[in-house]
Amino acid sequence: MNVLLDSNYFKFWSENANLAKSTKIGYKSKLKCFGIFLMNKGAVHKIDFDNFYYIEEDGSYDPIDEDFMDEYVESLIEEGLSDQLLYQNISIIKSFLHYLKSVGMIKTNPLKYYKNPYYRLVHRDRTMSKQECVAVLNAAYKLDPFTKKYYVLVLLLLTCGLRKQELLKMKKSQISFEFSQIEITRGQKTTAGVVRMTELLKKELKSYIEHPAWIEWSEGHDKEVFFEIGKPLSEKKIYRVMKKIYKIAGITRRIRLHDYRHTCAFLMYSEGINVMTIKEQLRHAKLATTLHYLPPGNDLAKILELNSTNRV
């Protein structure tokens, strides 16, 4: 069983797309891999690209997005795929979704403007500058200076490199102030892991969950750390919040949530933290993936030398 190959999307494309048989066979192998990833992410029985994410806040659905594709690309890199195979995988999925859009099977192609990282993520500068980080933190504080909810959220992203679902599903019980760490047990892509908290994050996070607003939200239960209007913070809401933050910060370029993982790696690296510690913080299965998150121009030999000489 493969949720994508068994879908009406694939069956219609297979029967009607104007492509050579050999080309379709090549497409099928790549789409099969994407289907396996979709199933690993929870789409076990049926796939609906227009209604991919359920939004608890208002009972609506959002389509598959570029952040999801970023996670897929990361998984391919961890498997050790070559530049050529990375290019082929992304090109085929983009082409497949373009076809579905052209025949009206999906409303929009979320990957229409997705930049194919065939040249590997290490050459794709997705990090935020230190000036941008400061501007975003200041703007997040201004958006809610009372609970400092958004300030803590951004600080978590910048220092812990959490994935979107890990952030949204994180509960208070995962936080250990005693050991300055957060257990990533909900929303994680692979196995559970642990991230370390900086002293600043620990201080601000503790202050936030001791705030009367959070205590009222939790009602003495183990609730999600971030909430909005009496409900857990949803994907749709976090995008709206971040858009407001960027407007206040005066940032006009597009910044994805996944870019904070790249920025976290960049900030740690710029502080001289060794690459293995960065790998552990981002919870990558392979060192090769971590190297793709580090700043362009740093070759493998230099990074490994840093790893062998630094101790954190």
Contact 224, 170 (CB under 8 A): yes
Query: What residues does CATH 1.10.150 cover in the chain?
Result: 8-119
CATH class of 8-119: mainly alpha
Is 30 a residue whose pLDDT tops 50?
A: yes
Query: What residues does CATH 1.10.443.10 cover in the chain?
Result: 124-312
Is 307 a residue whose pLDDT tops 80?
A: no
For 202-237, write each residue's pLDDT tens digit: 999 999 999 999 999 999 999 999 999 889 998 888
Residue matched to tokens 């690209």: 49
For 5-21, write each residue's pLDDT tens digit: 999 999 999 999 888 88
Average pLDDT over residues 39-54: 82
Which residue, among 237, 286, 292, has the nearest Cα to 123 in the 3D structure?
292
Residue 296, pLDDT score:
56
Average pLDDT over residues 240-258: 92
Confidence of residue 191 (pLDDT cuts 50, 70, 90): low
For 93-133, write each residue's pLDDT tens digit: 988 998 999 999 998 887 777 776 554 443 456 789 999 99
171: which DSSP letter? B
Helix (H, G, I), strand (E, B) or coil at 45: coil
What are the helix (H) ranges across 17-120? 21-40, 66-78, 83-102
Name the CATH architecture for the domain at 124-312.
Answer: Orthogonal Bundle (1.10)
